[in-house]
Chain A
């Protein structure tokens, strides 16, 4: 498809969409500007001063013709919609794309070009220079207005980037035409400012106007995503309903809004299920969530559901969801859940079977197996009676209730004495409770107890680990505890002498290098950051967060192209606020685009 054809198609679509927008033109004053809150309006129609809705003869087509001349389809489309909203009877001029004879006097095209490129100071300077050369010439009112709006929009953006929310709302109050569907980014920023200021009613008013007035389905969908950060689920539902039904424009598929709403709803329910906050899900919510997760074969969602049931001691559905997650995308996290769910059901053999593919390869699976394998000294099986159900320790671990884990271990140690395996398990639970210094002491105790019994530490337990393995596990636990406690320097010093397996040693070394690289970035030692990250890369592939760190080190070393490439490659794989920030700031620095 040629650019010209695309251009005409877009133009046709814009013209076709215009009547519906015009049908919503409010009949109030201010040329259709829509009051959102005291002091703030979103100008969905004409800009003040650009003419009255009842005076079509005054419609200024300067900008329209400029955009047509320069081929700026997006702005042309927005301008057509704006003018149609201003006067429903107005039609785009038929000669829009016919080369126009320039009116006598000064050609404003270069100024418009600068404005559309965001080079407002340069545009002002060029106009001043032109006026010096032609003192009788006056720039068009439309051009001057566009310059003012562009300046205020830039101020608004800067205030928003600096998180000066009050200032954002003040600018929006004095310059309502900087906030419109044609300037959607500004409108979003103003709504965000109100959201941050906890004035959600004002934020809601802006979002409501945007989803009902902006014709593009994609814009409505993105508005919904942005609004979900500040509004309650009910308010988001209300917005979604409005976005799918209000002022539909021809050619737009608003089902994307419905899908976005479903995504948000699923995300909310998954978050609630995962965090455990807000209590149990209602049967309806749970059924909806289960259907969505099954529909999408969402392995992460299945995992969340697995833990949701596991925490409620509903081990059977938990086991089913963990199994599904593992089936859709095998992972050690799914295996961990599966092991603990089987343990909760008293199915130890199945638990160990589920662990097989990951044993020795995943610390979380190894830990789960430790929880399933009965620690020595726990009393053991007595005689020929039926196998006992899960112990309080098993139950605590299956529920990920680490406080209960400590209590259970304390009781068991008081009854039968502390063992290496128990002390080690205590260390893992203390780490989970954010008590790394005590965890380190517990692992040291495990190591000492393991050494004392000389390889017979856990020999009575069916799944007992040999003493060497216990010692290695304890040393590994100690190293992790020291990492968590921030004891980097001493750990780096001790690492070569620690009795760790090569895999665990590499893992600890990689963690130490990552921590040191973070510290180097804080100290502004950017060459060191790269040196340390390169060394770490030899041990393990670089994770995303360290890739971002590398990008900032490159940026601060003024290796801007390398930094841009680094951020871009991360952003292309998965775009997040951090990666986008890196890409944007680096690009702006490269092109001096700080308008």
Chain B
């Protein structure tokens, strides 16, 4: 307990005895190793493997992709992120994946006052960041952002489509879809503040629809029931 003793000696000598006493108390509470400031608990934790059956999302039966591996990590007490790597039948670079971030409603005043940094930006994309992301995700491919949104079980989402032809004449198509769920009136349970989804899948062939359909029909399981958005007709689609 050398560190505590030193603090106590200083307390006896200096005019800031009260402050030093507080230091002693903190020292006694924390031991000789000091204490870690609260912000450290708000930083992203390490990624940990998670079994597909423990994921808060279910792919629809008959989906052309399957779960290869999944990882999760917490960002403070408010956010939990999931990275689900999906199978990829193409020879293109980059992993097929579903990214999912769940933002909980803080259950303590301190968490509400000092929230961790959100692991995704809002708006999810700007023109510039989308262009940079498409370039990174689909290098050397022609990417087009869809004019109109598409709708899945939980609401509207936006997406982009990229395609390429390799030397042997094989056509591959990729889609990137992104969605932010904030509908507390119907879709999200009270404990969940927001859910962010991103679907990045490449497949063989020139038709992007089979690549988007699993995203249209996936199911979220967040403890409490997540309701479907009203079953509106799918809006006009480009593809």
A residues near B (Cβ < 8 Å) are 402-407, 410, 433-438, 440-441, 485-490, 519, 522-525
Contacts and interface: CB of A to CB of B under 8 A. Distances in A.
B91 A404 contact: yes
A486 B85 contact: no
B48 A437 contact: no
B48 A433 contact: no
Interface string B46-75: 111100000000000000000011010000
Contact of A404 (B39, B47, B48, B167): B167
Contacts of B18: none
A490 B91 contact: no
A324 B168 CA distance: 34
Contacts of A435: 88, 93-95
16 contacts: A402-B93, A403-B92, A404-B167, A405-B91, A407-B166, A407-B170, A410-B91, A433-B93, A435-B95, A436-B95, A440-B69, A485-B69, A485-B71, A486-B71, A488-B47, A489-B46
Nearest to B172: A403
A525 B95 contact: no
B43 interface: yes
B87 interface: yes
Contact of B46 (A402, A437, A438, A519): A519
Given A488-B46, A525-B40, A407 B69 contact: no
Contacts of A410: 91
Interface of B: 36, 39-40, 43, 46-49, 68-69, 71, 85, 87-88, 91-95, 166-168, 170
Contact of B43 (A434, A488, A523): A523
B42 to A, nearest CB: 10
Given A487-B47, A489-B46, A490-B48, A403 B85 contact: no
B88 A407 contact: no
Most chain A C-beta atoms within 10 Å of own C-beta, residue among B40, B71, B87, B95:
B95
Nearest to A524: B40
User: Which of B85, B87, B168 has the largest count of A CB atoms less than 10 A from its CB?
Assistant: B85
Which of B48, B68, B91, B166 is packed against the most chain A CB atoms within 10 Å?
Answer: B91
Given A437-B85, A485-B71, A523-B40, A406 B91 contact: yes
A458 B141 CA distance: 38
Contacts of B46: 488-489, 519
B68 A437 contact: yes
B69 to A, nearest CB: 4
A523 B41 CA distance: 9
A529 to B, nearest CB: 14
Nearest to B34: A527
A530 to B, nearest CB: 15
Contacts of A525: 36, 40
Contacts of B48: 489-490
Contacts of B94: 433-435
A489 B48 CA distance: 7
Given A433-B92, A486-B71, A407 B168 contact: yes
Given A403-B93, A433-B94, A434-B93, 10 more contacts: A402-B91, A403-B91, A404-B91, A410-B91, A435-B88, A441-B69, A485-B71, A486-B47, A487-B49, A525-B36
Nearest to A486: B47
Which of the listed residues A402, A410, A438, A490 has the most CB atoms from chain B within 10 Å of its own CB?
A438
Nearest to A408: B91
Contacts of A404: 91, 166-167
Contacts of B166: 403-404, 407
A487 B85 CA distance: 13
A525 B36 CA distance: 9
B60 to A, nearest CB: 21
A434 B92 CA distance: 9
Nearest to A490: B49
10 A-B pairs closest in CB distance = A403-B91, A437-B85, A406-B91, A437-B69, A433-B93, A489-B46, A435-B95, A437-B68, A486-B47, A407-B91
A522 B75 CA distance: 13
A435 B95 CA distance: 5
B64 to A, nearest CB: 15
A405 B48 CA distance: 31
Contacts of A485: 69, 71, 85
Contact of B68 (A405, A438, A523): A438
A418 to B, nearest CB: 16
Contacts of B167: 404
Nearest to B164: A403
A431 to B, nearest CB: 11
A2 B178 CA distance: 71
Contacts of A403: 91-93, 166
Given A435-B95, A437-B95, A522 B43 contact: yes
A407 B204 CA distance: 12
A405 B166 CA distance: 13
B127 to A, nearest CB: 16
A490 B47 CA distance: 9
Contact of B87 (A438, A487, A489): A438
B51 to A, nearest CB: 13
Contacts of B71: 485-487
B84 to A, nearest CB: 10
A308 to B, nearest CB: 18
B59 to A, nearest CB: 16
A438 B47 contact: no
B202 to A, nearest CB: 10
B88 A438 contact: yes
Nearest to B89: A410
Nearest to B139: A434
A434 B95 contact: yes
Contacts of B40: 523-525
B172 to A, nearest CB: 9
B218 to A, nearest CB: 19
A524 B69 CA distance: 30
A410 B170 CA distance: 14
B54 to A, nearest CB: 15
Contacts of B43: 522-523
A258 to B, nearest CB: 37
A434 B88 CA distance: 12
B92 to A, nearest CB: 6
B85 A438 contact: yes
A523 B42 CA distance: 9
Contacts of A489: 46-48
Contacts of A488: 46-47
B65 to A, nearest CB: 12
A485 B47 CA distance: 9
